[in-house]
Amino acid sequence: MAGYLQDKVVAITGGGRGIGRATALLCAAEGARIVIADYGVAMDGTEPTSAVADEVVAEIVDAGGEAVAVAVDVGSMDGGEAVVSSAVDTWGRIDGAVCVAGILRERMLFNMTEDEFDDVIRVHLKGTFTVFRAASAVMRKQEGGGSLVAFTSGVFALGSTSQANYAAAKGGITSLVYSAALGLDRYGVRANAVAPVARTRMSANVPTELAENGDPEDVAPMVAYLLSDAAADVTGQVYTAVGNKIAVWSQPREERAMWTEGRWTPQAIEVCLPGQIGVNRLPLLDKVKEMRAAAAAGERPNT
Ligand SMILES: NC(=O)c1ccc[n+]([C@@H]2O[C@H](COP(=O)([O-])OP(=O)(O)OC[C@H]3O[C@@H](n4cnc5c(N)ncnc54)[C@H](O)[C@@H]3O)[C@@H](O)[C@H]2O)c1
């Protein structure tokens, strides 16, 4: 019986562990041919090894599937190109590119070093750009177009107290997805983002009890759907996937506006703003206060 993704060629960055691995195993079981692109690094991005990608390829092949490994750093242009050329050289095309690779360097903003900021932006945001760029250049010219899937996080909209670098990268990824969806629509190439929550080594590091959690295997089906022809009309979306819940995020837009004759002055803004357009309070601002109190009392706070 043909699989849900039969014969599609799909490259998955970060496919060696966690959510990327679970996605790769499901897509392979559904008939896709898989590039496992994983640099095999520790959570902070150091100590690369090719063993991590090789192991998942062996798992897929042992189960009767088709896969190749590429142990490159997707934060470099060469790395992104190697991911895509590995698919094209092996199977002649690339139908899906899933950018899951990521690292964490947590620190309060006022203590964060330049390297901690740059490395996180490079792996997440540039690492999505390098693969999207190389993949879309092939997809736009091939029969059937293609599907790009990025990994963001709820922090793209909600913020994060000690992960300004990570939240900024995830915000950038979401904007990249909107722009990719707009620019590539005429070529039959779609772009969407998944905001997951799942028990992996990355989420184990979060110093709070997560209100919702699940396993990497709970996230994989949403990616498989986005890669499939059934999602031909789905582009420019952000979907949460956690446990047995899937949710769609709103498209950010202006909510309220005010106008004046001529040009605004600061004094006139001071008078008009509170009553006319007001403030949209950050949803987590009050929560952060509760979390600080819980931490001070020696408890593990809830998010
Ligand atoms: N786990 C969660 O709850 C959660 C929540 C929100 C967002 N996310 C996002 O989901 C994605 C997957 O997270 P995970 O929890 O499975 O993480 P993970 O640490 O289990 O896996 C990440 C993989 O990416 C690889 N990688 C890191 N840097 C790389 C690079 N430069 N080039 C190639 N590969 C590289 C690592 O070797 C690792 O195998 C990430 O983008 C993460 O930010 C996860």
- Which tens digits make up the pLDDT trace of 65-101? 999 999 999 999 999 999 999 999 999 999 999 999 9
Q: Considering only CA atoms, which of 52, 57, 71 is closest in space to residue 25?
A: 57
Mean per-residue pLDDT for 111-132? 98
How far does residue 11's CA lie from ligand 1's centre (Å)? 15
**Contact indicator for 120, 104 with CB cutoff of 8 Å:** yes
Same domain, 244 and 276: no
Task: Indicate the residue among 202, 217, 248 that finishes a domain.
Answer: 248
- Return the pLDDT at 288: 86
Is the same domain home to 139 and 274?
no
Within-domain flag for 160: yes
- Distance (angstroms) between ligand 1 centre and the Cα of 119 equals 14
Residues 74 and 159 in one domain: yes
In a domain, 151, yes or no: yes
Q: Which two tokens stand for residue 155?
A: 């922090």
pLDDT digits (tens, 9 = 90+) for 19-74: 999 999 999 999 999 999 999 999 999 999 999 999 999 999 999 999 999 999 99
- One domain, residues 127 and 204: yes
Same domain, 282 and 233: no
Distance of CA 270 from the midpoint of ligand 1 (Å): 44
pLDDT band at 208 (very low <50, low <70, confident <90, very high): low
Active site residue 178: no
Same domain? For 173 and 260 the reply is: no
From CA 181, how far away is CA 145, in angstroms rounded?
A: 12
Same structural domain for residues 174 and 293? no
- Same-domain pairing of 231 and 263: no
Work out which ligand 1 atom sits closest to the CA atom of 242.
3
What would the mean pLDDT of 165-179 be, rounded to a whole number? 98
Coil, strand or helix at 282: coil
245 pLDDT higher than 80: yes
Distance of alpha carbon 4 from alpha carbon 29, whole angstroms:
9
Same domain, 227 and 281: no
- CA nearest ligand 1 atom 20, residue: 18
Per DSSP, the three-state class of 107 is strand
Q: Is residue 3 part of a domain?
A: no
In a domain? residue 29: yes
d(CA 13, CA 70): 9
- The predicted pLDDT at position 128 comes to 99
Nearest-CA residue for ligand 1 atom 7 is 153
**Total number of domains constituting the chain:** 2
pLDDT of residue 281: 93
| Exposed/middle/buried for residue 19 (C-beta within 10 Å: 0-12, 13-18, 19+) | buried
Is there a single domain that holds both residue 283 and residue 239? no
Q: Work out whether strand 245-248 and strand 238-242 pair parallel, antiparallel, or are unpaired.
A: antiparallel
Give the domain-ending residue among 216, 248, 280.
Answer: 248
- Beta bridge mates, 118: none
Domain that holds residue 277: 254-303
- CB of 196 closer than 6 angstroms to any ligand 1 atom: yes
Q: What is the mean pLDDT of residues 119-140?
A: 98
Average pLDDT of the residues of the chain: 95
The answer, yes or no, to whether any atom of ligand 1 lies below 6 A from the CB of 201, is yes
Q: Is 288 found in the same domain as 177?
A: no
* Residue closest by Cα to atom 4 of ligand 1: 197
Residue 4 lies in a domain: no
Whether residues 150 and 296 fall in one domain: no
